Every structure is written in C-alpha cells, then in structure tokens.
Amino acid sequence: MLACIPARIGLGYVAGKLSGQNLRYMAYGATILAIIWIILALFGWRKKGLETFGAPIWWTPYLRIIHAIFYLVFAYMAYYEKPHYNYVLYADAFVGFVSFIIYHAINGDFKYLF
C-alpha cells in the first residue's frame, strides 16, 4: 500500500503530461498489464506475493479484475486522447485505497500494518 497507491497516483500524473505517440505507448503498456491481470484472476494464479510479505493476496480475484478494467478504460481513453483520460488512473488509486481500508478494517489487522 505504501508503494502501490503512490505509484498509481504517479502514473496518473505522468499520463496527464504525455501526448501523441508517448501516450499511445503508455496505452499499450496499460493494455498489456490489464490482460495479464485478467489472466491471473481467471486462472487463479499468483495468490501470494512479495508485496504482501508472502501472505495471501487479498485483492484477488475480484479487485484484480476491477483494476484491469480501469486500466483498459484508461488505455482506450489515452489512445484516443479523450479528455481526462488520466483521471481513470486516479479513480483506480482511490478504489484501491478505499478497498485497502475496508478490507483491513473488517479484518481488524491495522495494528499489523504499521
């Protein structure tokens, strides 16, 4: 969370500064990532990771699909340079942050996070 959310916000910021071919390259990258996340979710792969210190990844599979959808929407909007395309990445960061808070509040494990 300490790296993920700032990274997502940073991607939104960088995307907002790009245009033309560089923005299309970012759209291609977002599409590739989204496809990978969808495959991971559909096949149930990568259930543990370094970012959870080896614990089960709590955002799989449903939030991973939502995350992928955000990135596909961003990729479409960025490729065609639709207004506010980078806001999609900010929305993704917001959903990720709120999901993190809700998940850990329900599980009562905030004391282990900080």
Q: Is residue 21 part of a domain?
A: no
The domain total for the chain is: 1
Q: Is there a domain that residue 91 lies in?
A: yes
Residue 20 region by backbone torsions, left for phi larger than 0, else alpha for psi between -120 and 50, else beta: left
Provide the mean pLDDT of the chain. 93
- pLDDT, tens digit (0-9, with 9 covering 90-100), for 40-59: 999 999 999 888 888 889 89
Does residue 20 register a pLDDT over 80?
A: yes
Q: What pLDDT sits at residue 114?
A: 62
pTM attached to this predicted model: 0.91
Q: Which candidate, 74, 101, 111, 105, places its Cα nearest to that of 5?
A: 101
48 forms beta bridges with 56
Summary count for the chain: helices (H), strands (E)? 4, 0
Residue 92: inside a domain, yes or no? yes
Could you list the residue range(s) of the whole structural domain that residue 41 is in?
30-112
